[in-house]
Structure formats: structure tokens, C-alpha cells
Amino acid sequence: MIHGNDLFNALLFHVGNPYFFNEEIGGQPTLQQRLRVMVEHTKLFDELLAPVGKPLAYMRKHYKAYVSGFQDAKAWRAKLMDAKDTNEIEQIVDELLNLIDSGKIQLSPGQNVQEKDSSAAANG
């Protein structure tokens, strides 16, 4: 019998891509989407696993799937690994997202990035 956490883990980390089943984006999230989902998943793990263990320790080993494909990704992962709680992780990701949005972080070839006006363009 599959329990909720087992199913959650299987879906979340399927081939290191939590967007694998998302038809809206075709399984290819932007860097910003990956980072935002990483924060969301970290919060979920913190909420769901706090009573039975160390959720951040479990989640940290998966950060490479989310935090890759850009300049200094390894250094940013190291910052995340040193974070004490989900609030600090969220602050680090917010700082990183601001640098990406301002163009101060260089992306690896083939990496897609969310355009600032994408929601306005989609709405016509």
C-alpha cells in the first residue's frame, strides 16, 4: 500500500523534475518557477515532516535539481545548505530571484528565464 508521503515523494522528485506532469508548461519550467517551487516544497516538507524528523535535512539533498543552470549556482546551493529554517531559505531565494530579474545572474546556455511582462502579454 502506498502512503501519502511515498506518493508525494514519487511525484515530487520524478526524474529530478517536479514539473514532469505539468502540461501547462510542457515539463520545462523557467528558473524562477523552479526556485519558487523549491521554496514551496521546502515549506511543505517542513510542515509535513517536522513531527517525525528533520525536514530541512531531507529537502537539502534535492536542492541541486532546483538550483542549477546559472552562474554561481554551487555557491547559492551552499548558502541554502547553511540556512537555519524555511524563512532564511525564502530570503535567500528572494535575493537570488531579484538578481536574476535584474539580469545580474548569467544563465547557462539553454536555460529559460521568465520574462517580466509574460503575464501582461498573456492577458492581451
Residue 121 lies in a domain: no
Residue whose grid cell is 514532469 = 20
Q: What is the pLDDT of residue 99?
A: 94
In a domain, 64, yes or no: yes
Asked if the structure places residue 115 within a domain, the reply is no
Q: HSE-up of 20 (CA within 13 Å, CB side)?
A: 10
Burial 56-90 (b: 16+ CB within 10 A, else e): beebbebbeebbbebeebeebbebbeebeebeebb
26 in any annotated domain: yes
Is 82 among the domain residues?
yes
> What's the predicted TM-score (pTM) here?
0.71
Please check whether residue 27 lies inside any domain of the structure. Answer: yes
Q: The cell 547553511 sits on which residue?
A: 82
Give strand pairing partners of 17: none
What is the total residue count of the chain?
Answer: 124
Domain that holds residue 19: 4-107
Range from 47-51, 60-64, 78-82 carrying the lowest mean pLDDT? 47-51
Domain count, the chain: 1
Is the per-residue pLDDT at 110 higher than 60?
yes
pLDDT score of 92: 97
Give a yes or no: residue 51 inside a domain.
Answer: yes
pLDDT band, very low/low/confident/very high, at 121 (cuts 50, 70, 90) = very low
* Spatial separation of the C-alpha atoms in residues 55 and 60, rounded to whole Å: 9
116 in a domain, yes or no?
no
Task: Tell me the per-residue pLDDT of 73-96, one tens digit each, with 9 for 90 and over.
Answer: 999 999 999 999 999 999 999 999
